[in-house]
């Protein structure tokens, strides 16, 4: 794409906490639990774009999720920092797990309280890929056992100046 993210050192822990706070302000009736590993390594990228991505995922978790609290995890996984957003909603059938990242793709008009545009996840994927990372969706898609959105961002190998 033509997105030019900044190449700053990003403290994922800060960004996750700010996105959770922002979501709680928009949706005070929804519980969001965060679990962030101590001493997460920095990643290279753009904290504003990452914050927007996390807000999009949390917005979806609120709109399409269930009654259980939304869970946000951040931890190191090998060479990546892994961030996940898990909800207890209806889930996503296997054939749609990749399509939901397409521009304007929405799974039917009955999805969610307010109609969206179907752009949130395509923007999320382009931002994450522009930062050298990856994003995908997981869902057991049976008995409404929810959705887990997973972001991986490579740990920066450079020293902070």
Give yes or no for residue 92 binding ligand ATP (CB under 6 A): yes
Give yes or no for residue 121 binding ligand ATP (CB under 6 A): yes
Distances (CA, A) of 89 to 59, 70, 79, 136: 13, 10, 30, 17
Give yes or no for residue 23 binding Mg ion (CB under 5 A): no
46's CB contacts (< 8 A; 6+ apart) are 5, 6, 7, 8, 10, 127, 131
Give yes or no for residue 80 binding ligand ATP (CB under 6 A): no
Give yes or no for residue 119 binding ligand ATP (CB under 6 A): yes
Spatial contact of 150 and 77, defined as CB atoms under 8 Å apart: no
CA distance 63 to 85: 13
Give yes or no for residue 45 binding ligand ATP (CB under 6 A): no
Q: Name beta bridge partners: 72.
A: 34, 85
- Candidates 27-35, 36-44, 47-55, 102-110: pick the segment binding ligand ATP (CB under 6 A): 102-110
Of the candidates 126, 147, 152, 153, which one interacts with ligand ATP according to CB under 6 A? 147
Give yes or no for residue 60 binding Mg ion (CB under 5 A): yes
For Mg ion, the binding residues (CB under 5 A) are 60, 116, 120
């Amino acid at each position: 794409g033509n997105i030019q993210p900044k190449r700053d050192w990003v403290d994922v822990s800060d960004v996750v906490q700010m996105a959770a706070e922002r979501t709680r302000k928009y949706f005070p009736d929804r519980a969001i639990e965060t679990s962030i590993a101590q001493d997460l390594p920095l990643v290279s990228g753009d904290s504003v774009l990452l914050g927007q991505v996390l807000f999009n995922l949390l917005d979806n978790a609120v709109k399409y999720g269930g009654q259980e609290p939304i869970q946000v995890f951040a931890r190191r996984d090998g060479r990546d920092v892994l961030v996940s957003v898990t909800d207890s909603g209806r889930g996503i059938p296997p054939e749609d797990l990749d399509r939901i990242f397409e521009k304007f793709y929405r799974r039917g008009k009955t999805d969610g309280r307010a109609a969206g545009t179907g752009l949130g996840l395509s923007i999320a994927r382009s931002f994450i890929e522009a930062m050298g990372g990856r994003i995908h969706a997981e869902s057991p898609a049976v008995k409404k056992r929810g959705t887990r959105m997973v972001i991986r961002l490579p740990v920066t190998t450079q020293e902070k100046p």
